[in-house]
Chains A and B, each alone.
Chain A
Amino acid sequence: MAETVINVLSAIFLLAGGAFGILGGLGLLRFPDFYSRLHAAGVTETLCAVLIVLGLVLQSGFSLLTIKLLLILLFLLFTAPTATHALARAAMVDEVEPEVIAKQSSENRPAPGEPSSNI
């Protein structure tokens, strides 16, 4: 009984992880400018990793495999947002323009590296 419940939970986590992965890939392919693509990739990437690792952890119970999987999850949760932040930072310093701001007039455009919320 308990094994069936754990298997069903694990299957739900794994399938949801796969679905979020495909959604992130579609967003990466279909969104119009760099920052929205970064949003699609960066947000779904961590969620997909969490769901799939949780699904796999439920499969193996308490073992060395589980500890290594949780270590992988820890590393991914530290590194994925850091890499996304570094990419967004580098693109902003390099004046890659969001599509919304590119349609405005050039006078009230924020300086490169400035947050866009104060216009």
Chain B
Amino acid sequence: MTAVLVIATMAIFATMALALIRALKGPTIYDRIVAVNVFGTKTVLVVALITYVTGHADLIDVALVYALINFIAIVAVLKLVKMRDLAKAGEGDITDG
């Protein structure tokens, strides 16, 4: 069963590599942000898989916290890119319209 877990982990690592290539290639800033978003989600899954491969049950807390931080980070970076300022609101905001 460990072999299946390792194969799934390797598949997720391959996905993270593909997402990194897209993050480096661009071309728009949004391509980079969506690639980093995919990378973060896959990190959560990899940490959950590694919990089962190694048997350290504590590691699942890391995945839980990462899942929360990842979303906040993506929305914060998106807002910073759109408005150039985290405190500013108005025309062209990510919640605009």
Closest to A13 in B: B8
Question: Are the CB atoms of A56 and B15 closer together than 8 Å?
Answer: no
**Cα–Cα distance between A80 and B95 once the two chains are bound (Å):** 17
The SS class assigned to the A binding surface is helix
* A89 at interface, CB cutoff 8 A: yes
Chain B residues within an 8 Å CB radius of A71: 64
Q: Mark B71-97, 1 if CB is under 8 A from A, else 0.
A: 100110010011000000000101111
Closest to B45 in A: A52
Known: A15-B8, A72-B63, A86-B75. A48 touches B45 (CB 8 A): yes
Known: A14-B8, A68-B61. A93 touches B30 (CB 8 A): no
Question: Are the CB atoms of A79 and B30 closer together than 8 Å?
Answer: no
**Cα–Cα distance between A52 and B22 once the two chains are bound (Å):** 23
Question: Are the CB atoms of A59 and B64 closer together than 8 Å?
Answer: no
Chain B residues within an 8 Å CB radius of A93: 82, 92, 94, 96-97
**Cα–Cα distance between A84 and B41 once the two chains are bound (Å):** 12
Question: Are the CB atoms of B42 and A34 closer together than 8 Å?
Answer: no
Contacts from A to B (Cβ < 8 Å): 7, 10-11, 14-15, 17-19, 21-22, 24-26, 28-29, 34, 37-38, 41-42, 45, 48-49, 52-53, 55-56, 59-60, 64-65, 68-69, 71-72, 75-76, 79-80, 82-84, 86-87, 89-91, 93-94, 96, 113
List 15 interface pairs A-B (beta carbons < 8 Å), by A numbering: A11-B4, A14-B4, A19-B11, A22-B11, A45-B38, A52-B8, A52-B12, A59-B52, A69-B60, A87-B37, A89-B97, A90-B94, A91-B28, A93-B94, A93-B97
